[in-house]
Amino acid sequence: MGSTFGGLNIMTLGMSAQQLSQNTTGHNVANASTEGYSRQTVNLVTTTPQQIYTANGMSMAGTGVTTASITRARDFLVDTQYWQKNSTKNYWSTQGDVLAKVESVFNDTKNTGIQNAIELFHTALGTLASDASEDSARTAAREAANALVETLQTSGNNLVSQANDASSRIDTQITQVNSLSKQIAALNKQIVSQEATGATANDLRDQRDKLVDELSVLTEVNVSEEKNGSYTVIISGGVSLVQGDHATDLTVEHEKNTPYGYDTTKVTTLNGTVNVNFKNGSIASLTDLRDTTINGYLADLDNLAQSLLQDFNTQHKQGQTKDLTAADNFFGVTGVDYTDSTQDPTTMASPASWLSILKVNEKFYETNGVNLIAAASADAGGTADGTNATELKNWLVDDPDTASVSLGKNSLSSYYASMVSGVGVQTQQAKNMTTNQTVIFDSVATTRESVSGVSMDEELSNMIKFQQAYGACAKMLATMDSMLEFLINIR
């Protein structure tokens, strides 16, 4: 036989359980658009039944409901996938963003780029060949050459500033990594202490997962959960960023690239004893862009500059000035033989790029300096001979028979054309990869949202369910109360 007032107790438990559920539903609805929030559910269980003696022996009578736990809807496997795909997606989207800027340096579709400068120089030399006695034709050739030099150097400077930008972004992102790992470590500590009592620290865990989400934008992370509930975060190369409540600090060392002079970064940890190499994520992407892609295009531009200083000058020296004397360098400094290995600026004591020393011979700017341009061939009879100017003009666009040190069997023009298509292919690939990776990432993100996201309709229907259950409990209580009233009023 159960207790007289046992029923009241059951209903009290029922009402508070429904109220807790209703509150949790409210918590879900309130956090529907909170980033990183996963919906929570109250898990109800029956309380320990009571043994009662009936006419037929022992029976178990229910004693009501209680809350076993409040859990969040989360799938660690999906999270792991999410982090992995997020890193890959951000690797490619960073590639796409930066390459779009690099590509604009080599954009000749609007006739403003290097190709246009080459063509203007080509035309100027052609005009000079037809009218070599005319000073204005010589001046035009000098200025067109100067424009080409400036275009090449501006392009080089653009690339260098892109590389510098990549380095400073890496700098900021390492700071972010350090800040994130510290926060994760702090949350690890809180979660471990709160969960020691057996509860699940749902909201703290959501926060911690969100921090890992942010970290996975920057680099590929390998996360494992320890038995006590703390996360161990390892990045590529086995560097453990977070272990328990300890976060490893990463330091950035700044250097300068030789010979191009852009800023480089070296990321180390443990007082500089271990080098950190990132994989995937935006940091790795920026590093690759700077050290491989942009460096490669700078090297290409340098080859163009080198060929102007070496091969163009060699052809120029085969001609004669307007005064029919032997010609010297067109580019660079008079008297310097750039084909001599001792004049290679990249191997000098303080290395410089070919591009940085490229300039139109300063002597051309002195009085009657344009006369030093060798339009005439070695066996010219007078000033009107433009044979060498034609040779120079052809050198710009005709592939040579013998391979040159800098451009191989390419003319300046065709070498540049292959650079342009190279940039185009690379940028196109980055764009396509970004699209593909975004699709893949979106599908994982959708799966995660499907597991953890708050659905309004679902919550509202739960709301009605809990409301009705609460109401029913209250009604039960009232009924029991009136039953007791009968009992009490018996005379």
Cα 430 to Cα 92: distance, rounded to the nearest angstrom: 6
Q: Which element (helix H / strand E) includes 42?
A: strand 40-46
Should residue 139 be labelled a site residue for another protein when binding is judged by CB under 8 A? no
Nearer to another protein, 33 or 402 (CB): 33
What is the identity of the amino acid at 188?
A: N
Q: Quote the least distance from Cβ 175 to another protein, whole Å.
A: 29
152 and 158 in contact (C-beta within 8 Å)? Answer: no
Residue 244, Ramachandran bin (φ over 0: left; ψ between -120 and 50: alpha; else beta): left
Q: What is the largest CA-CA distance in the chain?
A: 146
Should residue 30 be labelled a site residue for another protein when binding is judged by CB under 8 A? no
52 and 59 in contact (C-beta within 8 Å)? Answer: yes
Nearer to another protein, 425 or 478 (CB): 425
Q: Which element (helix H / strand E) includes 483?
A: helix 456-488
Helices (H) and strands (E) in the chain, counts: 12, 11
What is the identity of the amino acid at 57?
A: G
Should residue 198 be labelled a site residue for another protein when binding is judged by CB under 8 A? no
Map the footprint of another protein across residues 84-113, applying CB under 8 A.
99-100, 103-104, 106-109, 111
Cα 201 to Cα 225: distance, rounded to the nearest angstrom: 14
Nearer to another protein, 173 or 462 (CB): 462
| One residue of 30, 196, 199, 397 binding another protein per CB under 8 A | 397
| One residue of 47, 66, 116, 339 binding another protein per CB under 8 A | 116
Q: How far is CA 237 from CA 198, 267, 272, 279, in A?
A: 35, 12, 15, 9
Nearer to another protein, 66 or 438 (CB): 438
| One residue of 81, 88, 90, 127 binding another protein per CB under 8 A | 127
Two structure tokens written together for 119: 């063509």
Residues with Cβ < 8 Å from 460, sequence gap 6 or more?
A: 29
Cα 281 to Cα 241: distance, rounded to the nearest angstrom: 15
Should residue 71 be labelled a site residue for another protein when binding is judged by CB under 8 A? no
DSSP sequence for 57-97: EEEEE---EEEEEEEE---HHHHHHHHHHHHHHHHHHHHHH
404 and 398 in contact (C-beta within 8 Å)? Answer: no
Should residue 385 be labelled a site residue for another protein when binding is judged by CB under 8 A? yes
Map the footprint of another protein across residues 338-377, applying CB under 8 A.
376
Residue 324 is classified by DSSP as: S
Cα 12 to Cα 477: distance, rounded to the nearest angstrom: 8
Residue 269 backbone dihedrals phi, psi, to 5 degrees: -145, 170
| One residue of 60, 326, 348, 425 binding another protein per CB under 8 A | 425
Should residue 199 be labelled a site residue for another protein when binding is judged by CB under 8 A? no
Should residue 268 be labelled a site residue for another protein when binding is judged by CB under 8 A? no
Q: How far is CA 273 from the centre of its chain?
A: 26
| One residue of 445, 469, 470, 473 binding another protein per CB under 8 A | 445
Cα 444 to Cα 434: distance, rounded to the nearest angstrom: 15
292 and 194 in contact (C-beta within 8 Å)? Answer: no
Nearer to another protein, 283 or 389 (CB): 389
Nearer to another protein, 340 or 457 (CB): 457
| One residue of 63, 66, 123, 356 binding another protein per CB under 8 A | 123
Should residue 456 be labelled a site residue for another protein when binding is judged by CB under 8 A? yes
| One residue of 47, 69, 70, 119 binding another protein per CB under 8 A | 119
Q: Quote the least distance from Cβ 123 to another protein, whole Å.
A: 5
Two structure tokens written together for 149: 């030099």
Token match 């790029």: residue? 353
- Before 259, cis peptide (omega within 30)? yes
| One residue of 6, 36, 296, 453 binding another protein per CB under 8 A | 453
| One residue of 1, 4, 33, 488 binding another protein per CB under 8 A | 33
| One residue of 43, 275, 450, 479 binding another protein per CB under 8 A | 450
Q: Quote the least distance from Cβ 329 to another protein, whole Å.
A: 23
Should residue 24 be labelled a site residue for another protein when binding is judged by CB under 8 A? no
Q: Quote the least distance from Cβ 73 to another protein, whole Å.
A: 9
18 and 470 in contact (C-beta within 8 Å)? Answer: yes
* Number of residues counted as binding another protein (CB under 8 A): 68
Q: Specify the stretch interacting with another protein by CB under 8 A; choose among 8-16, 325-333, 362-370, 424-432.
A: 424-432
| One residue of 384, 474, 477, 480 binding another protein per CB under 8 A | 384
Q: How far is CA 478 from CA 62, 244, 454, 484, in A?
A: 19, 52, 35, 10
Q: Quote the least distance from Cβ 191 to another protein, whole Å.
A: 25
Should residue 212 be labelled a site residue for another protein when binding is judged by CB under 8 A? no
Nearer to another protein, 129 or 355 (CB): 129
- Contacts to another protein by CB under 8 A: 32-33, 99-100, 103-104, 106-109, 111, 115-116, 119-120, 122-123, 126-127, 129-131, 133-134, 376, 379-387, 390-391, 394, 397-398, 413, 416-418, 420-428, 431, 442, 445-446, 449-451, 453-458, 460-461, 464
